[in-house]
């Protein structure tokens, strides 16, 4: 059996979104005698009172994948890569979500046992993973074949407000239950697969009270809802959209919420950097409308933004007028 490349799980954040990346090999699934291939996962983030929050972190304690019957049992076991994890040097540049019991070797009604590919706690501040920045999450070797589900054990969250208050957030039975995403992907022998896991901060961390919050002192607590905040796409089959936002004096605006809509469905959200720039990642090919919003300013939408796989689409510069 051929020696496989390592499987790397990465983390990318766009203002509240986590991203997993799988890079398909382009070969026949059962060519070269099967073997093992590489899985990569990254994380990214997604509107949210960004100006009022200095940290929005999540802790992931385990990741599992479920192989189909086509995967060779002898090569299905995942091997952790000791060099991988929360490494600052590697920082660069949903489907059907449901809660399920998560145990090593666990299986669904009509599928193979789940295989653990990450089994140690790693934490990420999603606000540091915006606008295309990614971070490595884990690494493992997987047997060549088809996979249909990924399960994440998200055990806790942590929020720090601009006024210095901190909130520790937990998921009931977080060390035993998981967020299961149904997603079909393949592992090719001696090849690397990369997925993007998008974690929407605005959905994962819900401030209480809700509504239009303009001051950190208005926030009394948070609901932590990671089960509705995760989205997975294949990197090679998606594209990005990028642009810049300024005020009427042409000064760049940071902390602007930028959301991509496909029809009436919000796909993902990010926030502008201090220089007013933004990047929306993991967009399936299609025609989007891009909404730009910031408290104290009039919202503006750019319609008919065409996104193609493997390319970046430049969105027309946006100027927001003060209300």
Cα gap 31→153, rounded to integer Å: 33
> How many CA atoms, within 13 angstroms, populate the side-chain half-sphere of residue 22?
25
**Residue 102 structure tokens:** 């998560």
- Backbone dihedral angles phi then psi of residue 203, each to the nearest 5 degrees: -90, -35
In a domain, 1, yes or no: no
In a domain, 3, yes or no: no
Q: Are residues 214 and 248 in the same domain?
A: no
Cα gap 34→288, rounded to integer Å: 39
In a domain, 2, yes or no: no
User: How much is the pLDDT for 312?
Assistant: 96
Cα gap 313→294, rounded to integer Å: 22
We report the CATH number of the domain holding residue 244 as 2.60.40.1120
User: How much is the pLDDT for 71?
Assistant: 60
**Above 90 in pLDDT, residue 298?**
yes
Q: Which is nearest to 105 in space by CA: 73, 134, 146? A: 73
Q: Are residues 129 and 170 in the same domain?
A: yes
In a domain, 13, yes or no: yes
Ranges 4-8, 79-83, 127-131, 268-272, most confident: 268-272
Spell out the alpha helix ranges (H) of 182-281. Answer: 201-204
Domain edge (last residue) among 196, 218, 236: 236
- 15 sits in the region (left: phi over 0; alpha: psi -120 to 50; else beta) called left
Lowest model confidence (mean pLDDT) among 64-73, 98-107, 110-119: 98-107
Q: Are residues 75 and 146 in the same domain?
A: yes
Q: Are residues 228 and 317 in the same domain?
A: no
What average pLDDT does the segment 180-200 reach?
A: 87
User: How much is the pLDDT for 174?
Assistant: 58
Q: Are residues 141 and 272 in the same domain?
A: no
In a domain, 151, yes or no: yes
pLDDT band at 55 (very low <50, low <70, confident <90, very high): very high
Tell me which residue range forms the domain holding 302. Answer: 238-323
Q: Are residues 71 and 174 in the same domain?
A: yes
pTM: 0.70
pLDDT of 110-128, one tens digit each?
557 899 989 888 999 998 8
Q: Are 182 and 97 in contact (CB under 8 A)?
A: no
Cα gap 297→111, rounded to integer Å: 51
Q: Are 54 and 125 in contact (CB under 8 A)?
A: no
Cα gap 125→53, rounded to integer Å: 11
Q: Are residues 25 and 150 in the same domain?
A: yes
Cα gap 314→283, rounded to integer Å: 13
User: How much is the pLDDT for 30?
Assistant: 33
pLDDT of 157-179, one tens digit each?
999 999 999 999 988 665 566 89
- Backbone dihedral angles phi then psi of residue 82, each to the nearest 5 degrees: -65, -15
Domain edge (last residue) among 236, 267, 297: 236
What average pLDDT does the segment 298-322 reach?
A: 96
Q: Are residues 316 and 205 in the same domain?
A: no
**Above 70 in pLDDT, residue 136?**
yes
Cα gap 26→289, rounded to integer Å: 32
Cα gap 178→61, rounded to integer Å: 10
Q: Are residues 81 and 223 in the same domain?
A: yes
| Helix (H) / strand (E) containing 204 | helix 201-204
Q: Are residues 229 and 247 in the same domain?
A: no
What average pLDDT does the segment 20-38 reach?
A: 44
């Amino acid at each position: 059996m051929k020696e496989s490349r390592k499987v790397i799980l990465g983390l990318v954040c766009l203002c509240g979104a986590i991203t997993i990346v799988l890079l398909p090999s382009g070969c026949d699934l059962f060519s070269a005698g099967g073997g093992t291939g590489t899985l990569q996962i990254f994380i990214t983030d997604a509107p949210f009172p960004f100006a009022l929050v200095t940290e929005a972190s999540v802790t992931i304690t385990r990741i599992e994948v479920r192989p189909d019957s086509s995967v060779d049992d002898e090569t299905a076991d995942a091997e952790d890569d000791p060099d991988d994890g929360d490494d600052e040097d590697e920082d660069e540049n949903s489907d059907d979500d449901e809660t399920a019991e998560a145990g090593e070797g666990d299986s669904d009604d009509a599928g193979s046992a789940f295989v653990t590919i990450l089994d140690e706690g790693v934490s990420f501040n999603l606000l540091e993973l915006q606008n295309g920045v990614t971070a490595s999450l884990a690494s493992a070797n997987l047997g060549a074949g088809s996979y249909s589900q990924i399960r994440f054990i998200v055990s806790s969250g942590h929020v720090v407000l601009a006024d210095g208050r901190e909130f520790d957030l937990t998921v009931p039975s977080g060390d035993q239950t998981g967020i299961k995403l149904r997603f079909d992907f393949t592992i090719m022998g001696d090849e690397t697969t990369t997925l993007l896991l998008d974690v929407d901060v605005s959905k994962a961390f819900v401030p209480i009270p809700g509504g239009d919050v303009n001051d950190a002192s208005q926030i009394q607590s948070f609901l932590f809802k990671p089960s509705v905040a995760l989205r997975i796409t294949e990197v090679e089959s998606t594209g990005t959209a990028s642009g810049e936002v300024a005020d009427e004096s042409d000064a760049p605006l940071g902390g602007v919420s930028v959301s991509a809509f496909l029809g009436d469905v919000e796909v993902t959200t990010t926030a502008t950097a201090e220089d007013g720039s933004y990047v929306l990642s993991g967009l399936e090919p299609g025609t989007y409308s891009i909404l730009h919003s910031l408290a104290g300013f009039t919202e503006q939408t750019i319609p008919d933004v065409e996104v193609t796989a493997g390319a970046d689409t430049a969105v027309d510069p946006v100027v927001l007028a003060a209300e």
